[in-house]
C-alpha cells in the first residue's frame, strides 16, 4: 500500500491522559500536514512540515499539542492532558511540493474520543 497511513484508527481515552498519533506519508512526499475535523464540519489546518522542519502552526494548536517529524518521514502528533473538546478526527495529508503538486493525499484519519 503506497497511500498515507495513520495509526491508530480509533483512540478512546479519559480526560487528562496523553495520546499520540502517527502518520506515515507517501514515500518521498516532502510536505506533511495535520488537520482536525469535528463531526459535521470541514477539516481545519493544524500544522505542517517540510521535511523535518515544522514551518507553520495554527492558533488552534494549543500548548498541549506538539507535532514532530524527526527524520522527515513519519510524523507524530501528541496531545497532552486531553480535554473533551479534543474529540475529533485527526487527518494527515502529504504532498510532493518539489514536483509542484497541489493535490494533498489524505490518510484515513485517527478518530479520538475523550471521555
Which residues bind to another protein, rule: CB under 8 A? Answer: 3-4, 31, 33, 35, 40-45, 48, 55-56, 91, 93, 95, 97, 102-104, 106-109
| Shortest reach from residue 36's CB to another protein, in Å | 11
What residues contact residue 46 under an 8 Å CB cut-off, 6+ apart? 33, 34, 35, 36, 57, 58, 60, 61, 65, 67, 77, 90
Identity of the residue, 69 or 82, whose beta carbon is nearer to another protein in the bound complex? 69
Identity of the residue, 25 or 109, whose beta carbon is nearer to another protein in the bound complex? 109
Identity of the residue, 79 or 89, whose beta carbon is nearer to another protein in the bound complex? 89
Residue that has been written with the C-alpha cell 480509533 in this structure = 10
Phi-psi region of 107 (alpha: psi -120 to 50; beta: other; left: phi over 0): beta
Amino acid at each position: 500500500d503506497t497511500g498515507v497511513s495513520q495509526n491508530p484508527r480509533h483512540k478512546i481515552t479519559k480526560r487528562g491522559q496523553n495520546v499520540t498519533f502517527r502518520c506515515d506519508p507517501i514515500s518521498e512526499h516532502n510536505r506533511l500536514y495535520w488537520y482536525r475535523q469535528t463531526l459535521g464540519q470541514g477539516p481545519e489546518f493544524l500544522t505542517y512540515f517540510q521535511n523535518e522542519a515544522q514551518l507553520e502552526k495554527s492558533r488552534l494548536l494549543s500548548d498541549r499539542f506538539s507535532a514532530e517529524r524527526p527524520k522527515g518521514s513519519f510524523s507524530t502528533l501528541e496531545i497532552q492532558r486531553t480535554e473533551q473538546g479534543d474529540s475529533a478526527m485527526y487527518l494527515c495529508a502529504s504532498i510532493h511540493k518539489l514536483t509542484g503538486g497541489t493535490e494533498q493525499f489524505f490518510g484515513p484519519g485517527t478518530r479520538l474520543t475523550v471521555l
